[in-house]
């Protein structure tokens, strides 16, 4: 799936747990290694090894396993 992501990224819904609601995210491709990268639009607790399933409304686009987490902090 990573090779099909547009340069500017892709807006999608992501489910991190089967029992939780989907959250909005931007799906992009890492310039360093070409792997898919998910940037959540709201804070969620994620852990390496956790599944991540990506949707366009009800249409399943793909998924994978979380390898690591990077926290971004807002700066004033």
Q: Which of 23-32, 46-55, 63-72 has the lowest mean pLDDT?
A: 63-72
pTM (predicted TM-score): 0.75
pLDDT of residue 3: 63
Domains of the chain and CATH, by start? 2-65 (2.40.30.10)
Over 23-55, what HEC string results?
Answer: EEEEEEECCCCCCEEEEECCCCCCCCCCEEEEE
pLDDT at 2 over 60: no
pLDDT at 75 over 50: no
Three-state DSSP class for residue 3: helix
pLDDT of residue 72: 65
Convert the pLDDT of each residue in 45-56 to its tens digit.
888 999 999 999
């Amino acid at each position: 799936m990573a090779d099909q992501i547009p340069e500017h990224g892709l807006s999608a819904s992501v489910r991190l747990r089967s029992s939780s609601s989907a959250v909005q995210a931007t799906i992009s491709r890492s310039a360093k290694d070409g792997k898919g990268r998910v940037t959540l639009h709201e804070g969620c607790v994620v852990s390496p090894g956790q599944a991540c399933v990506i949707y366009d409304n009800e249409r399943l686009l793909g998924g994978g396993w979380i390898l690591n987490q990077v926290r971004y902090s807002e700066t004033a």
